[in-house]
């Protein structure tokens, strides 16, 4: 084995399998276009009618965060994101705490999502199906997607976004048809 081969083997890395569009779709599915709607009334009242300004300020803060993550990824091109950036940029002990916070997030987020999705399905659509059966089905689907890999998750995101788009288009079409049918007759 040559020195160049041993150096290349020693540096861990990730295969880049997602395209830019996969990441865009992931962001849209993750954030959902309807995400700000539940906050609108509360934020509108608390901001004295300056809700759009709040969204713009939040967007600016998120852009700073995105640029910071991009710069940190260029400096430290290794897996681990916040753990790596905090550990190498500030202090290894703080990086350890950031890593544990990420671990808790990765542990609790699927659990919270499973409970929320199962509760919504049980209360709105499938009252006859036991909650635990729905929770097991949701957890099974999420586990299957994770075990199949990132490409499978990217395809699921695209199909989820297509379902969201089709639902939105269908509801807009129905609304337009209802609006037209409710117009007064133009007969003289």
SS3 (DSSP) at 50: coil
Q: What are phi and psi of 93, to 5 degrees?
A: -70, -40
Q: Residues of 64-87 as b/e, b for ≥16 C-beta within 10 angstroms?
A: eeeeeeeebeeeeeeebeebbbbb
- The span from the first CA to the last CA of the chain, in angstroms, equals 93
* Dist. CA 79–CA 52, nearest whole Å: 36
Predicted local distance difference test score (pLDDT) of residue 187: 54
pTM of structure? 0.56
* Residue 171 is assigned to a structural domain of this protein: yes
Rounded to the nearest 5 percent, the helix, strand and coil shares of the chain are 80, 0, 20
The answer as to whether 145 is a domain residue is: yes
The closest alpha carbon to 113, from 124, 125, 123, 121, belongs to: 121
Containing structural domain, residue 170:
100-178
Q: Is the residue at 9 inside a domain?
A: no
Q: Does residue 52 sit within a domain?
A: no
The count of residues in the chain is: 188
- What is the pLDDT tens value at each position of the chain, 188 positions in all? 555 555 555 666 667 778 888 888 777 777 766 666 667 777 788 888 888 888 889 889 989 988 888 888 888 777 667 888 888 888 889 989 988 998 998 888 888 888 988 998 899 888 889 999 999 999 998 888 888 888 888 888 888 788 878 887 777 776 666 665 665 555 54
Please indicate, yes or no, if residue 122 is contained in any of the structural domains: yes
- The C-alpha angle 138, 146, 86, rounded to 5 degrees, equals 115
pLDDT of residue 159: 85
Domain total in the chain: 1
């Amino acid at each position: 084995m040559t020195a160049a081969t041993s150096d290349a083997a020693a540096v861990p890395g990730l295969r880049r399998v997602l395209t830019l569009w996969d990441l865009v779709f992931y962001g849209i599915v993750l954030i959902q276009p309807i995400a700000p709607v539940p906050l609108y009334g509360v934020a509108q009242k608390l901001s004295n009618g300056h809700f759009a300004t709040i969204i713009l300020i939040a967007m600016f803060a998120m852009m700073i965060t995105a640029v910071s993550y991009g710069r940190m990824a260029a400096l430290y091109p290794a897996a681990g994101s916040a753990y790596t950036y905090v550990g190498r940029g500030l202090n290894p002990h703080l990086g350890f705490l950031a890593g544990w916070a990420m671990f808790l997030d990765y542990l609790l987020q699927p659990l919270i999502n499973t409970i929320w999705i199962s509760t919504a399905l049980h209360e709105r659509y499938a009252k006859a199906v036991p909650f635990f059966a729905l929770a097991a089905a949701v957890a099974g689907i999420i586990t299957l997607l994770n075990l199949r890999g990132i490409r499978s998750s990217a395809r699921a995101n695209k199909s989820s976004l297509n379902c969201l788009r089709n639902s939105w288009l269908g509801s807009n079409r129905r609304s337009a048809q209802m609006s037209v049918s409710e117009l007064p007759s133009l007969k003289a």
